[in-house]
Structures are given as structure tokens and as C-alpha cells.
Chains A and B, each alone.
Chain A
């Protein structure tokens, strides 16, 4: 199969050019002590939150091993965050909930049996236990903002030229601290497929609408590459998990020369996040804890 897995979503460890407003919620990771980068997102109409977290020690991303786990707890569910790439330090999962106002608690726990629950042999009989790591005990509570629902564009709307504008609109909310627009473009040519993501902070806290041209999302020349920076990568990855396309640790960075790709059509998954910042928790010296709600609509570009 001549499938070209050209994905351009940044791993959080990578940096890239970034366009748009500065991010007021995502403080940098501290070079001393423990930092976290956490996001919990609740997509519109669902009672299931996508959550992602990384922990840092003295500015370096920490992998949790041997029974140290990150657990996300809602009012009704508790789930261990997993990484699809061992030692990446990037963890994610989904958590069911019934009451969004209860938020999500992230905790680093020590549970050697639960950490090995996916193994085939009886871990209660066979266990090497070197004890808890230094991150165990850190906790962060994340609250969600008011739900966001896109009233335009309509799902599956078709655009035929790059000059056409896509107008996204939604009802504003006074508790919004920041609005982020994230898109994942997937273009097809026969059996070939190319995919990349973009993410921007909007100019005001909650403008209620955002206009973007098709050409801004799907350029006709030059390389298309990831345009998120380190701090916005979580949003793209969370969108990816909504789309079941991206996953933590599976995504590599690669530039794509778009003019070499004879595209037949593209799908554009457009997501608007309503974001609020949360306290990091006791003794955590840097990073961020974002609670967000989002709505996604998918449109098509058929030149």
C-alpha cells in the first residue's frame, strides 16, 4: 500500500515556528523543581474527557516507571494515563464523567499492580517492586469552562477554492480566559494521504467568531509543516485523539512539499477550544494545567 504517513504534529519536545497571539495560559516549564503540562478537554455533547499530562523534574521530562502512574479521576471514573511510546513522558487517556463541574483530578500515584494490569501474567504473584519515585504524591485539580458549541460552519460543507473563507462562530462565555483554534488537515490523492495540524490562539479572549481562508490551512506551495509551538502541542494532540488520528508518542515530525502532492480533496477538522487555567497544585513550580471545552466540525476542500 502506497500510504505515506506524513504527519506533522509536534512532539512536545520539539519547537517550531508559531503564528498567532501569545499564549497567556501556558507558562513555561521551570528549570528547577517539579513542573507539569496538563490539559483536560471535554468535547461538545460528550460525557468523556480527553486528558493528557507530562511531568518534569528540573526542566527535563520525566518517564514514570515501575509502578509510578498518572491517574485522572472524575466524579464517576478513574483511569491511568498511558503512553504509546515508552519513556516519552507524554501520557494520555479518556475519562468518563457525569458532572463536568466536578472537573478532573490528576495525581501521580504508586500502584505497581495497576501499572502492570495489561500484562498477561499474574502480577500479584510476580512483581519486582523498587518502590515509589519522587513524583508520587503530586496532584492537580482541573476545572472545565462552560461548554462551547459551533453554530457555523455546517458539517461536511464543501469549499472549492483556496480563497474561500470559513467562518466559525459560537456563543461567547464570560469565563473564557483564552480561545484556541486548531485544525487537522487530511489530503488525499488516490491511495496517497497526507496529514498535518495547525493551532493558533485567537486575538481576544472570546471573540465569538473566527474567519480563516482555505488557503491559510492548505497552502498551494512550499512545505506544510507543523505551526504549533511546544505549548500548543497538547491541544493538537487532544484534537487528534478526538479524531482518533493522532496519539501521544506515535507522531513524527516531517515536512511535506505540498506542490508535489496532486491533491484530489481534503478534509479539514476544525476545532475551537474554550480554555481556562487552573492552579498547578502544591509544590509544583512551573508549567500549566488547562481545562477546556471544544467543538469540532469537519468540512471538505474539493478544488
Chain B
């Protein structure tokens, strides 16, 4: 499946470039670009990573009424475990990730408030993730670091609201769930990196 990653990334980048290019021209009324701040709670195997603050930027391309094609870039920013100790030494792990999202986005207006739009979204996630180990040995042997990285796939789902601020600007807020599957899948202990997050940001229609 990893062999598909590069072509998929290429298509997504070109798609985003094309969408933003159209957006810049303002030729499609319902196209949207958005920028979100994300606060994610990570769930990784038996580890206790701290929470991650990151950003997500993306575009929505209209497919048909209420449905959009979505492409976005996001990631995990410097999420670390506490330093843990055992007989062998003390160790801390830090995760960083860059992720491309591609999926379907559905919006619907509410009957009870004109300026409020509900939406749901979901799709595939491609990640390039790096994990860093910092390990020390109680001063009895030299400490050091090691890093491993891997690419892979996952999925994301989300739901939230858009608040129309007029003049084509929207306030956007949502809950998301992301799963990056089989990180380091050639190793003895591959693991999934799951996150649940809150996103808040702005969107602009063109």
C-alpha cells in the first residue's frame, strides 16, 4: 500500500494547488479554503503522550449540492511522553508527523438558525511520521538519541459547525478523530497512533 503513497501525495498537492488557484480567481462561489488550530489528545499503544497543538489547512472543492471534495495538510507537533524509568535506563519518546487528508465533506444548513451550517467529513489520511527516543542510563553509561520514521495510511472523521460571519468569512469549529495505522510496520511492535481533537479556525468561500 505504501507504493501508492507518492502518487497519491502528488495528486493531492496538485489538487490543492488547482483548488487554491481557482479560489484566488474567485470563479467558484462555494469553494472554501480554511485554516484551523488543532488541539489533539493522543492515544498510542500503552504510552502516555502529552497533547499536541498543531494546525490544519485545507480546501473544499464542490462536487454536487452539499458535497465537497476535501484536501488538507495537518500533523502532530512534538508530542512527548513523560520520562519513564526501568532497570535499563530512563527514556522519553517524541512524535512528529505530517499528514495529508483527502475525503468527502458534507454541509447542511439548519432550519433554526440561518447563519449556522452543520458539516461532517471523512476520508483517507496519509502520514509521514517520525519518532525520537532520548535515553539515559542513570549516569552509568553515555546517554543518546535514536530516530525512526515511516510512512503509512489511516483515516479521519470529523463533525462540526460553520458560522457565517458574512462577507464570505466563516468561523469553523469541529471534533475530529484520526487514526494512523501500523506505524513502523516492519518492526517487532508496530502501533497505531490515534488522536481525538478539537479544531477551531476560519474558512473563506470563493
> Which B-chain residue is minimally distant from A122 (CB atoms)?
B187
B33 at the A interface (CB under 8 A) = no
> Which B-chain residue is minimally distant from A64 (CB atoms)?
B87
Contact of A133 with B87 in the complex, beta carbons under 8 Å: no
Q: Which residues of A contact B45 (CB under 8 A)?
A: 120-121
| A117 CB to nearest chain B CB (Å) | 10
Q: Interface segment, B18-26, B120-128, B142-150, B194-202? A: B142-150
B93 at the A interface (CB under 8 A) = yes
> Which A-chain residue is minimally distant from B131 (CB atoms)?
A126
Contact of B86 with A119 in the complex, beta carbons under 8 Å: yes
Q: Interface segment, B53-61, B98-106, B108-116, B133-141? A: B133-141
CA distance A64 to B88 in the complex (A): 7
Contact of A65 with B184 in the complex, beta carbons under 8 Å: no
A116 at the B interface (CB under 8 A) = yes
Q: Which residues of B contact A131 (CB under 8 A)?
A: 141
Number of interface residues of B (CB under 8 A): 31
Q: Which residues of B contact A115 (CB under 8 A)?
A: 87-88
| A88 CB to nearest chain B CB (Å) | 9
Contact of A121 with B89 in the complex, beta carbons under 8 Å: no
Q: Interface segment, A79-87, A147-155, A160-168? A: A79-87
| B114 CB to nearest chain A CB (Å) | 50
Candidates B88, B138, B148, B190; contact of A126 at CB < 8 Å = B148
Contact of B87 with A65 in the complex, beta carbons under 8 Å: yes
Given A87-B138, A130-B144: A125 in contact with B86 (beta carbons within 8 A): no
B166 at the A interface (CB under 8 A) = no
Given A64-B87, A128-B144, A130-B144: A86 in contact with B138 (beta carbons within 8 A): yes
Contact of B187 with A124 in the complex, beta carbons under 8 Å: yes
Contact of A83 with B87 in the complex, beta carbons under 8 Å: yes
Contact of A65 with B146 in the complex, beta carbons under 8 Å: no
| A118 CB to nearest chain B CB (Å) | 7
Candidates A118, A126, A130; contact of B86 at CB < 8 Å = A118
| B50 CB to nearest chain A CB (Å) | 16
Given A115-B88, A127-B146: A121 in contact with B191 (beta carbons within 8 A): yes
B2 at the A interface (CB under 8 A) = no
> Which B-chain residue is minimally distant from A130 (CB atoms)?
B141
CA distance A67 to B88 in the complex (A): 6
Q: Which residues of A contact B189 (CB under 8 A)?
A: 120-123
Q: Which residues of A contact B140 (CB under 8 A)?
A: 63, 65-66, 133
Interface string of A31-75 (1 = CB under 8 A from B): 000000000000000000000000000000001111100000000
CA distance A205 to B144 in the complex (A): 53
| A23 CB to nearest chain B CB (Å) | 29
Candidates A65, A119, A128, A130; contact of B145 at CB < 8 Å = A128
CA distance A65 to B188 in the complex (A): 22
Q: Which residues of B contact A121 (CB under 8 A)?
A: 45, 47, 93, 131, 133, 189, 191
CA distance A123 to B190 in the complex (A): 11
* Interface of chain B residues 34 through 74 with chain A (CB within 8 A): 45-47
Spell out A's residues near B (CB within 8 Å): 63-67, 82-83, 86-87, 115-116, 118-128, 130-131, 133
A-B contact list, 11 entries, CB within 8 Å: A66-B88, A66-B89, A67-B88, A83-B87, A118-B86, A119-B91, A125-B187, A126-B131, A128-B143, A128-B144, A131-B141
Known: A121-B45, A128-B89. 6 other contacts (CB 8 A): A65-B138, A86-B86, A122-B190, A126-B147, A127-B133, A128-B146
Spell out B's residues near A (CB within 8 Å): 45-47, 85-89, 91, 93, 131, 133, 135, 137-138, 140-148, 184, 186-191
Q: What are the nearest 10 A-B pairs in CB distance?
A: A122-B187, A128-B135, A122-B189, A128-B144, A130-B141, A120-B46, A126-B133, A125-B187, A65-B137, A125-B148
